[in-house]
Structure 1
Amino acid sequence: MANGWHGVRAALSEANYRTFTIGNAFSLIGTWVQRLALGWVVWELTRSGAWLGAVAFADLFPMVFVTPFAGALADRVDRLRVTRISQALLMAQAGLLAVFSALGMLSPELILALALVGGVITAFNQPFRMALLPSLVDRSHLVSAVAVNSIVFNTARFIGPAIAGLAIAWGSVTLAFVLNFVTFAAFSVALARIRLVRIEQLPSANPGLMKSVVEGCRYAARHAGLGAMLLTLAVISLCIRPVLELMPSYAGLFDSDAMKFAVMTSVIGLGSLIGAIRLSRLNNPRILARMALSNGLLMGAALLVAAGTQYEWLALVALLALGYGMVVSGIANQTVIQLVVPDHLRGRVLSLHSMIFRGAPALGALAIGAASDFMSLRWPLAVGAVLTFVFSALVYGRRTTVLKSLDL
């Protein structure tokens, strides 16, 4: 397996993966611009943590219902074609947001409805896009390709909020939505240019769709290593990651304006970028798995500091650590799944990863956001931090058994 930056260069030397990555980079930057703009508009219209949580729920929770079936389909139909169609639909949704914003017609209810539409499309698209990856690169470059994907994602998380902050500060939320539409169009063009030579062989005879879903869930549940990692990811996603969706409310604890809000979100992205760059130089999946198991301890402690501090500079340090921890969870879990799970089950198990990664924050944001309307946001965040720390400590105590079962 390629080492360090050589592995990254090797992955990017493959034309299909390079084209996909460039288009994906533009699309992800636009996505983060839109997410920040939507959150700010909802906060400005309502000043309600519950509304922020509701919009996040509409955007993220469809993963729970849609993704398992999409994952089963990803193991039996053309992954590239479905990814192209899904991306075109997301581009249309971004266009509607831009039009309604330009006409001054955006309301919390309309934003909620459009967020739900985008959430359903993304939930269907995610397993196909993730399962497509092994068809774009040689297996020996897969770990590096996953790391590059994470670097791209977290660079976008850093750049996107900064662009959104500038757009909002200039008084043009519509511009943020237009930018997302343009970046989605760029990714659609990139997907159209991909020509697969190496296509994964999918089973010619498949059981029923529901049976396929159950088979994927049963495989993950019975696998001691994957089960422990997915459970840890679920707790982190439920208790820690909602802070991202509630950032306008969190920034409000420090009387922050739109630019400071964007800075806080960008700091999380910067921490994620640092983590992604560091992990891109690791070529040992076993080390990644070990980091994933200990990661909750770091994130629990960081969120507890973020929830309790009255100092903005200390909050930024804690958010930086949270961003670092989030990327460790994302890279480690996805890499282990890509390497451990058999080809014919990959789409279904990756769909479980996506369902947890997006569905659990939806539930967490809804609960924490609603609670913050009755008490300070600091208290529900602190409870989530403690729960994460305690659960992660229990899982880390079983790390030897978990790592042995993964056989990395």
Structure 2
Amino acid sequence: MPRLGFDRIIDVLRQRNYGLFTLGNSLSLIGTWMQRIASGWLAWTLTESATWVGAIAFADLFPCVLLGPFSGAAADRWNRLHVLKIGQILGLMQAVVLAALYQMDMLSIWPLFLITLFHGTVTGFLQPFRLAITSGLVTTQWLNTAIAINSVTFNLARFVGPAVAGVLIAIGGLGTTYMVNAVTFAIFALCLTQVTIHNQPKKRAGGSFMAETMVGVRHAVTTPGVNVLLLLTVVAGLMVRPVVELLPGWAAQIFNGSSGDFAALTSALGIGAVIGGLWLAGRGSARGLARIMLGSQAAMCLVLLAFSASWHVWMALPLAMLAGAAMVVGAISAQTLTQIIVAEDVRGRVLGIWGLSVRGSPALGALVMGAASDIWGMRPPLIAGVMVTLCVVAWFALRFDRLRHALEDTL
């Protein structure tokens, strides 16, 4: 397969529908992560409890576990663009309420939790729609490139958003961060009004909604390669990924820092993610992604092991940047391979399961790791999680040839 190069990436982004969608989607996803980090820091300042920080992350991420399989089936049945428009308006409403309550000094921990739970429910339901709509925005010859760009966009937002939030918190405070977040929702809602799609999910005769949902679940867990990607995503999400949600505790408790130190750590993660994402986007083929995905998981674990041993924020900053790069490279590789492997008629359902693993496992992990950190401190739970993840990665590394054939033989 010839190299795609950045010229082809630019060509895809110049296509009106895809370019508008990607602009709005990118800003909205960054805003979502800005809100997540701002709410995590607010939860810490209100309670000084890692358990509550984990609970806020849980409320935002866990609804996808309950909704993922069903919203994936809906994405294979319903008009994806119409659902996204409705969902984005709901997201804008909660962002405005959140900013208003904070400005009026009425945002205590329980309203924060409930608003976050609403936001997590809307975002979790929309995730497979965001991912599956790509095939309706570009023609077939551009699909692989568009999928790769979507993967980069989705995963970079997970790190760029916290970086931007950290800077805004340090400069303008939480109120500014919440207001900017609301603006990102408004921009995506406006972009969606200008987008048209050239295909819709096919109407299906017979078969209940639940039956179609179970078809997607079976396809995700039995397809060779896809099931491994899901397993690795879940293990990393449970064991090591929650370090991002718990950064307020690391900054304040371990490094005796302020919001400025928290901003520096989140920015370092974001810088590393941008570097890793740009490097991966410039590759010309999906071949080799299996090795990159597994290697980046191992690198992430080793870097976080060193991070857990840091005793000063200046030691942790370069390690946070390397961790951000490794995390985003692994996540983009896994998502790209998943989207390429699955067939169009089950794409929404499989991506619903994938979204469940991406959002649900860090939600549960943050809740458990936050509670464990209140008991044993921040370091031991992360070290234990890293060792478990390394063992799983090593297991598949010893069987790498079989994994590579399952993931790349159809490319």
Whether contact under 8 Å (2:159, 2:324) holds in the other structure is no
Letter in 2 for 1:353: W
What is the match of residue 231 of structure 1?
231
2:164–2:267 contact (8 Å) kept in structure 1: no
Moved more, 19-28 or 390-399: 19-28
Give matches, 1:366-405, under 5 Å. 366-405=367-406
The aligned residue for residue 300 of structure 1 is: 301
Q: CA deviation at 1:126?
A: 0.3
Which of 136-145 and 331-340 deviates more?
A: 136-145
Q: Does 1:41 align with 2:64?
A: no
Deviation digits for residues 14-64 of structure 1 (CA, Å, limit 9, x no counterpart): 110111111123223322332222111111011100000001001000111
Q: Which residue of 2 aligns with 1:249?
A: 249
State the Cα deviation string for residues 281-336 of structure 1 (Å, max 9, x = none): 11322311221123221111111111112243331222112211221232112211
Contact 1:293 1:392 in 2 (8 A): yes
Residues 375-407 of structure 1, C-alpha deviations (whole Å, 9 max, x = no match): 110000000111111110101221211221232
| Corresponding pairs, count | 407
What does residue 202 of structure 1 align with? Answer: 202
Please name the residue that 1:193 is paired with. Answer: 194
Structure 2 Cα separation of the partners of residues 51 and 317 of structure 1: 28
Q: How far is the alpha carbon of 1:206 from its aligned partner?
A: 4.9
CA distance, structure 1, for counterparts of residue 176 and residue 344 of structure 2: 42
Secondary structure of 1:286's match? coil
Question: Which residue in the other structure is 2:51 paired with?
Answer: 50
- 1:56-88 superposed Cα distances (whole Å, 9 cap, x missing partner): 001000111011100001011101111111111
1:313 lines up with 2:314 in the alignment: yes
The Cα of 1:170 is off from its aligned counterpart by 4.8
Distance in structure 1 (CA, Å) of the matches to 2:159 and 2:65: 27
SS state at 1:105 partner: coil
For the 8 Å contact 2:31–2:180, the answer to whether it is kept is: yes
Partner of 2:131: 130
**Cα distance in structure 2, aligned partners of 1:73 and 1:246:** 33
Determine if contact 2:156/2:277 at 8 Å carries over to the other structure. no
2:210 aligned partner, one-letter code: M
2:337 aligned with 1:340 = no
- 2:40 partner amino acid: G
Using the size of structure 2 for normalisation, the TM-score is 0.94
For the residues of structure 2 that align with 1:203 and 1:332, how far apart are their CA atoms?
A: 31
Q: Distance in 1 between matches of 2:381 and 2:159?
A: 26
- Tell me the CA shift for residue 241 of structure 1: 1.1
Amino acid paired to 1:232: L
2:88 and 2:189 in contact (8 A); partners too: yes
CA shift for structure 1 position 156: 4.6
Any conservation in 1 of the 2:95–2:178 contact (CA below 8 Å)? yes
- How far apart are 1:149 and its partner, in Å? 3.1
For 2:391 and 2:402, the matched residues in 1 are separated by 19
CA distance, structure 2, for counterparts of residue 215 and residue 22 of structure 1:
33
C-alpha distance in 2, partners of 1:302/1:206? Answer: 51
In 2 relative to 1, CA 282–74 (structure 1 residues): closer, same or farther, beyond 3 Å? same
Distance 1:28 1:219 in 2: 27
Match of 1:212 in 2: 212
Q: Structure 2: 5+ residue runs without aligned partners?
A: none
1:164 offset after TM fit, Å? 3.1
What secondary structure sits across from 2:362 in the alignment? helix
Deviations 1:105-137 (A, max 9, x none): 111111111110000000110001100012112
Partner in structure 1 of residue 361 of structure 2: 360
Q: CA deviation at 1:201?
A: 4.9
Equivalent pair of 1:10/1:141 in contact (CA under 8 Å):
no
Deviations 1:200-246 (A, max 9, x none): 55243252111112111111222221111111111111112101110
Paired residues of 1:63 and 1:355 also in contact (CA < 8 A): yes
Task: Please name the residue that 2:29 is paired with.
Answer: 28
Deviation at 1:167, TM superposition (A): 3.8
1:266 corresponds in structure 2 to: 267
Query: 1:301 corresponds to which letter in structure 2?
Result: L
Please give the alpha-carbon distance, in whole angstroms, between the structure 1 residues aligned to 2:145 and 2:8: 6
SS of aligned partner of 2:196:
coil
* Post-superposition offset of 1:171: 5.8
How far apart are the structure 2 equivalents of 1:206 and 1:334?
31
Letter in 2 for 1:319: A
Residue 203 to residue 331, structure 1, CA distance change in 2 (3 Å) = farther
Distance (Å, rounded) in 1 between the aligned partners of 2:220 and 2:151:
23
- What is the match of residue 106 of structure 2? 105
SS at match of 2:244: helix
CA distance, structure 1, for counterparts of residue 399 and residue 222 of structure 2 = 16
- Classify the secondary structure of the residue corresponding to 1:70: helix
CA distance in 1, matches of 2:140, 2:287: 17
What is the DSSP-based 3-state SS (H/G/I as helix, E as strand, rest coil) of the residue aligned with 2:288?
helix
TM-score with structure 1 setting the length: 0.95
Counterparts in 2 of 1:372 and 1:5: CA distance versus 1, 3 Å: same
Contact 2:163 / 2:269 at 8 angstroms: preserved in 1?
no
Runs of 4+ in 1 over 6 A off after TM superposition: none
Q: CA deviation at 1:155?
A: 5.5
Native 8 Å contact 2:63 2:120 kept in 1 = yes
Deviation at 1:166, TM superposition (A): 4.5
Deviates more, 1:169-178 or 1:14-23: 169-178
- 1:162 Cα offset (Å): 4.8
Deviates more, 1:129-138 or 1:325-334: 325-334
